[in-house]
A and B are shown apart, each in its own frame.
Chain A
Amino acid sequence: MKSESNAMAGAAVSALFDDELEPQTAQVALAAVAEALRERETWRTYACIGDALRGEQRPEADLTAGVMARLTAEPVVLAPRALAGRPARQPWLALAASLAGVAVVGWLALAGKPPESPLAGRLPTGSPPAATLAAQDAVPPAPTLAAAAPAAVAHQAPRPAPLQPPAAIEADMSEYLLAHPAQAPTLSLDQSTKQIRTVAMRVVQP
């Protein structure tokens, strides 16, 4: 069964290279090729992790990486086109981060302080305007090769108003900051960094 489908896929790929396929059939064949590559990679990853956990070191016996590296290094005319289609970095994300960062450092720093603190006056000036998604249901910056950029990006959002935390947030934020990393079942690589935030916010006060 499997070999039969392999043979079919092989024939399809062959036809693809000979430019004998209809566009839709070609899409299917391409998807099959991509899936096969992905499956093989997943297999290799799991096998390697298994070895690592059992403490077995194993040399990179698989020649694929080398072959692929050499293929990649070949002067393929199509390479720039393909590169352009890879997921683009979203500059607006960083833009939003830089501004919002200013706002919430102030917000978090206010924890435990009277809400009438003149927060706005302390914010550094000259920050770039925030870029946010216009639509509420944001179009994900899809990780697919096809999506070059999300459609619903707009650069119209005004600078957010200074945040004045209500009493509830003031009281809870430090607890949340402590609970967030403490309860996270992630790889415990740098727990200390995450915990230091809980207390770091206190020093942000000017």
Chain B
Amino acid sequence: MKLLLLGLALIWSAVVAAEPPAGQNEGLQWLQRVTAAVQKLNYSGTFVYRNGAHSETSRIVHLAGDGRQSEKLEVLDGSPREVIRSNGEVRCYLPEKHLVIVEQRSVHRSFPALLPMSLARLAENYQVRLEGGERVAGFDSRIVRLEPRDAWRYGHRFWIDTASGLLLKAEIFDAQGQALESMAFTELRLGLPMDRAAVEPSFAVGGKDWQVRSARLRDLRDDAQWLFRAELPGFHRRASMRRSTGKHGEEVDTLHWVFSDDLVALSVFISPLRQPASAGDGEVGSMGALSVMKRVLDGHEVVVMGDVPPESVRHFATGIAVRSK
């Protein structure tokens, strides 16, 4: 009788594990609508980014009507800062430092990077379900909740405009359901005219006092020296590149690997150590939903960052090793 009870209990839990919560497929369809909306809608608005006690208001203009996506994001609080995204290139303007950081389109990336497979894989790592609706910035939304299937990743909630499919609000929460980070529109206008000037940077980058920092990206082929021994379930290697930056005449090569579970990413940066000792070795920290760990390994500095719990980053970073020659 005991065995039967155990058997029934196991079958019952297997059924619970295999059966998706009501609305999984509908939830995935909503996410599909979001990625489609971003690729074809023009909009502008104001949104609040919240990260713990810290919050910040930004203005965004997004143009996609002509098949290309361009976006301008201005931070309205504190010192002026801007992010311009255009054709896969991202430029970050920090006018107080007279600094522009440019991130080029990856050698691998084809945009949009949405395949049916990645949606299916999403359901392997997250339980997707609908959570009713709510009004956000004057728009009616459906809420899609992605509950992680294990403790290696965070949960996500997306508020999606029922009419346009646009993402109105997004939240990342931890195992206790506490929001770690969120973005929410407070005001939104859809259907802007195509005005390229609206997505131009506000700062004229010229003269000697502006510094442009840009890494030259190349395919990384010879990365056998580095071993990733600790796997994160559901995360697969998606890209690897060599980033060359010239600083004061000296070339520095940083290796960059990207791992992803199709919803969030984990980046590994490995660069030659330019100082004999490095403080903070082995420390893990986080900012909002982003966890960062730094290690010193064989004369290199290893930085692992990802939108995952600190323990996941620690686990992954600790498993990085140098292949013995």
Contact = CB atoms under 8 A, between A and B. Distances in A.
Interface of A: 16-17, 19, 21, 23, 26, 30, 33-34, 37-38, 40-42, 44-46, 48-50, 52-53, 60, 64-65, 68-69, 71-72, 76, 78-79, 81-82, 85-87, 89-94, 96-97, 100-101, 103-105, 107-108, 112, 132-133, 136-138, 140-143, 145, 160-161, 163-169, 171-204
Interface of A is mostly: helix
A138 to B, nearest CB: 5
A81 B9 contact: yes
Nearest to A174: B101
Please list the 6 inter-chain residue pairs (A to B) with the smallest Cβ-Cβ separation, ordered nearest first.
A104-B285, A184-B265, A37-B18, A143-B150, A34-B14, A141-B151
Nearest to B58: A196
B310 A203 contact: no
A45 B85 contact: no
B274 A167 contact: yes
A16 B3 CA distance: 9
B19 A53 contact: no
A185 B151 contact: no
A199 B81 contact: yes
Nearest to A50: B116
A62 to B, nearest CB: 10
Contacts of B20: 41, 45, 65
Contacts of B164: none
B4 interface: yes
A166 B7 CA distance: 57
B108 to A, nearest CB: 7
B176 A172 contact: no
Interface string B28-57: 110110110010000000010101101010
B285 A140 contact: no
Contacts of B79: 202-203
A195 B83 contact: yes
Contacts of B75: 196, 199-200, 203
27 contacts: A34-B10, A34-B17, A50-B116, A68-B19, A86-B13, A93-B174, A97-B286, A101-B52, A101-B288, A107-B283, A138-B315, A140-B315, A165-B279, A166-B278, A167-B274, A168-B273, A174-B101, A180-B265, A185-B265, A186-B265, A187-B263, A188-B38, A191-B85, A192-B60, A195-B90, A196-B73, A199-B92
Contact of A78 (B3, B8, B158): B8
Interface of B is mostly: mixed
B316 to A, nearest CB: 10
B83 A108 contact: no
B83 to A, nearest CB: 5
B94 interface: yes
Contact of B310 (A45, A100, A188, A193): A100
Nearest to B234: A143
Interface in B67-88: 71, 73, 75, 77-79, 81-83, 85
Contact of B120 (A49, A108, A171): A49
A174 B123 CA distance: 32
B151 A163 contact: no
B19 A189 contact: no
B125 to A, nearest CB: 9
A103 B108 CA distance: 34
A91 B176 contact: yes
B85 to A, nearest CB: 7
Contacts of A191: 38, 71, 85
A101 B285 contact: yes
B263 A186 contact: yes
B29 A52 contact: yes
Given A34-B14, A53-B32, A168-B301, A100 B73 contact: no
Nearest to A149: B151
Contacts of B305: 176-177, 180
B290 to A, nearest CB: 6
B15 interface: yes
Contacts of B35: 187-189
A96 B31 contact: no
Contacts of A202: 78-79, 81, 94
B310 A96 contact: yes
Contacts of A101: 52, 285-288
A169 B183 contact: no
A193 B101 contact: no
Contacts of B122: 187
Given A97-B309, A187-B31, A188-B35, A79 B12 contact: yes
B230 interface: yes
B1 A19 contact: yes
A184 B15 contact: no
B13 A140 contact: no
A50 B116 CA distance: 7
Contacts of B264: 184, 186
